[in-house]
Amino acid sequence: MIELHRVGVEEYKKVKKLPVTVVLDNVRSEMNVGSVFRTADAFLIERICLCGITPQPPKAEIHKTALGAEDSVDWQYFDSTLNAVQQLKDQGYTICSIEQVHDSVALQDFPAGLQRPVAIVLGNEVKGVSQQVVDASDLCVEIPQHGTKHSLNISCCAAIVMWQVYQAMALGR
């Protein structure tokens, strides 16, 4: 680790994190969950909320893709995504669902102007973010796509959005 200038789990836990929480709304794949943990570790995301049917560590497939990030990134479980969203709202978070909806904000225009912590909600691999959660969100962000497909794998989507937020909050871009 030293030759790559990486920190261990205990030191990582002490590093100041971005005021960003990722919320997984009924994500079913353990490998997708593991990938989100690994990306959250890379971009100093403060925590992940695992909701509904979303698998929780310890699970072999989560560990396979997280490579230990399930130990470095804080997480908590909620039986309902709506409960997680309400708790985050009560804590002053802006709730941002990543979804293709009418009046969504293009990713390149997000998170411009955010003055408080943000919760990024990512949805189920087939159904996306539930309508109740979309309705409870402060805004929805859409990743522009110009090919024949209309969606990205959740782990790819999570990485793109976390990078955008990291650039804005940590790098000031």
Closest CA to 52 of 29, 71, 22, 24: 24
Q: How many CA atoms lie within 13 A of 171 on its CB side?
A: 9
Instruction: Give pTM, 2 decimals.
Output: 0.95
Contacts of 148 (CB under 8 A, 6+ apart): none
Strands 118-122 and 94-98: parallel
155 in helix, strand or coil?
helix
Residue 2 has a pLDDT of: 55
**Neighbour tally for 89: CB within 10 Å:** 15
Give the chain's end-to-end CA distance (angstroms, integer): 29
**Looking at residue 35, what is its pLDDT?**
98
Per-residue pLDDT of the chain (173 residues; tens, 9 = 90+): 556 778 899 999 999 999 999 999 999 999 999 999 999 999 999 999 999 999 999 999 999 999 999 999 999 999 999 999 999 999 999 999 999 999 999 999 987 777 789 999 999 999 999 999 999 999 999 999 999 998 999 999 999 999 999 999 988 87
The CATH number assigned to the domain with range 2-169 reads 3.40.1280.10
Q: Residue 104 corresponds to which tokens in the numbers above?
A: 């969504």
